[in-house]
């Protein structure tokens, strides 16, 4: 009489565990890179980061993941978003990336040492294909706007649009969807403005 009872108990335990594990669903990330951190702001919007600067985004709860332009090959270990647009990723060698547009662009603070003056540097590489880095310095707290324009003066991208503390920063412009030609980038603060030219060659 004891054996059937024991068998029933084992069967119920197995079914309970099966039911618990059935709540986890495999999802394809689209990358073979190791992923280190993930952050969701709601049931649909999430970001994941990992080795070689991998940054992935989902807007449908993880059913599909798309690559975000990373602008770095540094290993990223963690990511945290406070809403669908504003987030920070951290990684090797003290790397901290910040985005205010849902990961379309990330800004990397290269140094917190306070520079002597505002500066906008020539992008590198230049000419470029399809991405280039734009570095600038801020000697004091500033609201920063960094935008890209085509040769006709039409705004095509906003790379930075936020308040930043003093330091040296670098933003990456991904021109994969744009055609070859001359483009301009403009840095604007309350106390400074400068424009430089760059060349996209595909």
pLDDT at residue 200 is higher than 50: yes
Q: Is the pLDDT at 16 greater than 60, yes or no? A: no
Q: Sketch out the chain's domains with CATH numbers.
A: 26-104 (2.40.10), 106-202 (2.60.40.2550)
Is residue 137 within 8 A of residue 146, CB to CB? The reply is no
pTM of the model: 0.65
Report phi then psi at 42, rounded to 5.
-160, -170
For the stretch 127-137, pLDDT in tens is 999 889 999 99
The answer, yes or no, to whether residue 2 has pLDDT greater than 60, is no
Residues 134 and 159: beta-carbon distance below 8 Å: yes
C-alpha span between 58 and 31 (Å, rounded)? 13
Residue 171 CA, distance from chain mean position: 11
> Position of tokens 């403005």?
193
pLDDT for 14: 46
In which residue are the tokens 């809403």 written?
83
Looking at residue 15, its pLDDT comes to 47
pLDDT at 97 over 80: yes
């Amino acid at each position: 009489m004891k054996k059937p009872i024991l068998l029933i108990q084992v069967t119920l335990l197995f079914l309970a565990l099966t039911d618990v594990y059935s709540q986890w669903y495999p999802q394809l990330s689209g990358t073979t890179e190791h992923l280190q951190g993930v952050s969701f702001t709601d049931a649909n919007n999430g970001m994941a980061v990992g080795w070689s600067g991998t940054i992935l985004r989902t807007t449908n709860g993880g059913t599909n993941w798309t690559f975000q332009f990373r602008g770095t090959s540094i290993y990223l270990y963690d990511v945290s978003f406070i809403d669908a647009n504003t987030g920070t990723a951290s990684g090797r060698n003290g790397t901290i990336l910040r985005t205010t547009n849902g990961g379309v662009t990330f800004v990397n603070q290269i140094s917190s040492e306070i520079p002597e003056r505002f500066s906008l540097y020539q992008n590198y590489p230049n000419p470029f294909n399809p991405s280039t880095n734009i570095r600038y310095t801020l000697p004091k707290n500033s609201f920063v706007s960094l935008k890209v324009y085509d040769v006709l003066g039409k705004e095509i991208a906003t790379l930075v649009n936020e308040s930043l503390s003093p330091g040296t920063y670098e933003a990456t412009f991904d021109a994969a969807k744009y055609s070859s030609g001359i483009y301009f980038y403009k840095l604007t603060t309350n106390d400074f403005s400068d424009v430089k030219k760059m060349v996209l060659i595909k």
